Structure 1
């Protein structure tokens, strides 16, 4: 608008100047016609004087010394001396060549600009000059300028308002889309851009909303798949770890994290990088592009690593490793082997003795009846021992399989304990061992299987007698603690070595033979294991405390309330 305004102003200024020149030229030609049409010079001049515009001055040169000028109107000071025209050589030269002149110049002795138009007379001996002040053109130009500037101002205001309105309709949706895009970048996919128009901006808003819905759908689907994958990995018992070629961890689950923490702790590593022991195996898989497996022992636990190359369009981009804790399997294999070895060992001795003594009887090695009866008694005792061993093995197998049957009932505690202790009174008198009981309970009865608990208590007391020297002391204590009944058997016998104490409840555990006082009453090594299963099946716990050469204390707990599952 500003450029257009400047061009219009320039155009109208030139237009008015050219119009004024043409008007003066027409007047000069009219004067020329009037002067030449009248025979009498005075009549022509009067006619010219009457016809001339009040703002226009005319000077007629009939020859170089004969001229005429019209009289100025009231208030008009525009006047040029005739001598000035004669002095202008360029003007006179143009007229002498029968040419018209149009010139803008400044009045002599004045700063006022004028427009001069001159035409030669037909006899080429004179000239007619018509001129007027440029102020008239400037006034017209100023009026036109005011009109143009006013129109331009109004147009600029209107176009500004329209542009603001139009830009608001365009930019407002764009601003909302920009804000929505920022929220999309932050993960907020519920922001909707309102569609106000059906033009290109409206189509853009529709496309943006469609894109938002598609992104929300795909991101939700990806999050669900990621959540499912994370849940699957977390619920896996085996460890899973995925690395790229730079050995950066991409995916890992808690079991794998525990494995790496144990491995770092064992190798005194504190950084976040994978241990070299693992990266060496991963690097071997990357180079060979084949599945590999290895077994590692970390912190006393056995782990098997199964490593497989990770492909992306037939290109190996990493390694996926499955970390499986095989400690229990290895321990079960060891227990199976130990069990077979222990059973074989326990059965071999009585079988050998029975075979040897039976051969002695068959071969009549024992001649007297008393000797034969003694050998038969040994065979009988060993058969009882084998029968007891087999029965205990069957009981232990049923208990470990969860097939133990408990007949829980409310039992009076004090008579129950005294009855069991009475079975050992004769043995205590024979060995001169002080055998006492301390019972301090608020409850007189407790729910348990009397036969099974009698088996536990009998085993503990029998072990105490077998490992307590003469004139020793054995105490059976019963008290209440946190709604549980605690039964403890304490002796001041030989005790259990510290290195053997963690294994006393394992199958076939036996103390050192030197600590067994009565070889004829040695056990099978299953009693404490059976006692542990019986107590735990009642919902209690059993522990052992001992100091070598000072004594041993076995204690177990039983609930004083009966659960619904036992009723």
Structure 2
């Protein structure tokens, strides 16, 4: 009996031990699988399987892990999409954009920000003050953080403030949090380059001043002589005729000024179509020189025409191109003294047609060269004041050349003459759309 009881105890013990080790192995394998699933989720991967069998609790854990993984993948995908959209927007913006924190540390910056500030590397992770010294901007940022509202300021960048140069509007915009009780610790900085706008405003003001000056002189003469005629009705016929001749001369001057202003306005607004046709430049220049022969004779000027042999035909608008050549020749003759000599060269260089008009005149000082194509610009006042004209000829010529897809530049030294060099691609860029009458 004792033997039987002992055998039963041993049997039950072995059974319990076997069951214990089986359960332990079962749970160990399930825990290992849970560990693999959670490791995959932690590393933002999708596990091969979420299936956990053998117990209702394990099935519930399996479903929960799958839901967590699905939501995590959704959030990751949405985050990537938002990042791509943000980067696309920032990259496409001409304005310089930077996101900074309260310590003025740059968190994000677009390419325009790097370009505008003249930075050589990625500004991310650096403080604004390390990159460019702008005390007024630093102060504005602090005030915007304190007030928790957008602030804006116009600044002038100079060489003393790093590589930032020109006129800029800087906006400091705190990023408002959902909770109004918590102040924003993030700010968006926007740098807008308004240099061209400022330059346009200055050019417009200068243009108005110059036009007013050009109109004032003939109008004053008109007023003076009209008053003379009114106050002196018994003037001799010869004196009245002299006055009328003076008034006529200044009427023509005003008419020329207005016509040139209207033409320049049309050219600058690009409302002119260049109607090109293949032209033999040798024949074209020979005809032009012939047309100008009376002027050359009057000015006692000798002309040397140098045309490269076998020069291909050039796509130009004969009417407007001739106007450009007339203006350049007339300008060369005005600013030179006898014995006047003019050389006109035409040649092919690479895939370009190059025309040079070379005079032996006064020359142009280097300080004036960048501005000679500006409207009404006159470098040497003592000489230019003696010359007749509207002061718009070179501006008009430049516009005509550019509408042909070409470029014009002046090469000159004082007392050594000037070379006007016109360069055009042999395959011309098309002109603009709206035609203009050639009259």
TM more than 0.5? yes
Classify 1:431/1:401 alpha carbon distance in 2 versus 1 (closer, same or farther; 3 Å): closer
Q: Does 1:256 align with 2:121?
A: no
For the 8 Å contact 2:148–2:184, the answer to whether it is kept is no
Computed over aligned residues only, the root mean square deviation of the Cα atoms, in angstroms, reads: 3.4
- Residue pair 1:285, 1:309 contacting (<8 A) in 2 also: yes
Native 8 Å contact 1:496 1:552 kept in 2: yes
Does 2:51 align with 1:195? yes
User: Equivalent residue for 2:162?
Assistant: none
Answer with 215-224 or 450-459: which moved more.
Answer: 215-224
Paired residue for 2:140? 281
Change (3 A) 1:430 1:170: same
Q: CA deviation at 1:554?
A: 1.1
Determine which structure has greater relative contact order: mean sequence separation of CA pairs < 8 Å that are 6+ residues apart, divided by chain length.
2
Q: Trace 1:38-117 onto structure 2 (pairs within 5 A).
A: none
Match of 2:419 in 1: 553
Residue matched to 1:293: 152
Contact 1:247 1:274 in 2 (8 A): no
Q: Could you tell me which of 183, 199, 206 is aligned with 1:316? A: 183
SS at match of 1:321: strand
Cα separation, partners in 2 of 1:272 and 1:385, compared to 1, 3 Å? closer
Q: Distance in 2 between matches of 1:205 and 1:239?
A: 49
CA distance in 2, matches of 1:202, 1:273: 60
User: Which of 181, 198, 203 is 1:335 aligned to?
Assistant: 203
Summarize the Cα distance change of 1:410–1:536 in structure 2 as closer, same or farther, 3 Å threshold. same
1:149 & 1:321 partners in 2: Cα distance?
A: 81
Corresponding position: 1:512 with 2:397: no
Alpha-carbon distance, 1:542 to partner: 1.2
Instruction: List structure 1 segments (4+ residues) > 6 angstroms apart after TM superposition.
Output: 147-156, 564-567
- Aligned: 1:447 with 2:303: no
Unaligned 5+ residue runs, structure 2?
A: 122-127, 159-164, 434-439
The question of whether the paired residues in 1 share the 8 Å contact of 2:404 and 2:428 is answered with no
Deviation at 1:345, TM superposition (A): 0.6
Change in CA separation of 1:213 and 1:163 when aligned onto 2, cut-off 3 Å: same
What is the rounded CA distance, in whole Å, between the counterparts of 1:375 and 1:148 in structure 2? 146
Matches within 5 A, 1:149-160: none
Which residues of 2 match residues 163-562 of structure 1 at below 5 A?
165-167=25-27, 169-184=29-44, 188=45, 190-197=46-53, 199=55, 200-261=57-118, 271=130, 275-299=134-158, 300-312=165-177, 313-314=179-180, 315-318=182-185, 319-364=187-232, 367-440=235-308, 442-516=310-384, 519=386, 521-561=387-427
TM-score (norm 2): 0.82
Going from structure 1 to structure 2, the CA distance change for 1:565 and 1:370 (only over 3 Å counts) comes to closer
Distance 1:275 1:560 in 2: 48
When residues 301 and 367 of structure 1 are mapped into structure 2, their CA distance, relative to the original with a 3 A threshold, is: same
Q: Hey, what's the Cα distance between the residues in 1 that align with 2:150 and 2:39?
A: 50
Instruction: State the 1:244 CA deviation.
Output: 2.3
| d(CA) in 1 for partners of 2:313, 2:171 | 57
- Report the CA distance shift for 1:366/1:392 in structure 2 as closer, same or farther (over 3 A): farther
Cα 1:384–1:239 change in 2 (3 A) is same
Runs of at least 5 residues in structure 1 that lack an aligned partner in the other structure: 1-14, 17-143
Query: Cα–Cα, structure 1 residues 176 and 309, in superposed 2: closer, same or farther, change >3 Å?
Result: closer
Change in 2 beyond 3 A, CA 1:256/1:403: same
Closer, same or farther in 2 for the Cα pair 1:441/1:208, shift >3 Å? farther
- Work out whether residues 180 and 193 of structure 1, in 8 Å CA contact, stay in contact via their aligned partners in 2: no
Q: How far apart, CA to CA, are the structure 2 residues paired with 1:378 and 1:331?
A: 38
Post-superposition CA distance 1:173-204 (Å, at most 9, x none):
224314413432xxx4x444341526333432
Paired residues of 1:173 and 1:205 also in contact (CA < 8 A)? no
Deviation at 1:444, TM superposition (A): 4.3
Give the distance between the partners of 1:509 and 1:489, measured in 2 at CA. 20
- Seen in structure 2, the aligned counterparts of structure 1 residues 476 and 565 have a Cα distance that, compared at 3 Å, is closer
Distance 1:430 1:258, change over 3 A: same
Distance 1:288 1:183, change over 3 A: closer
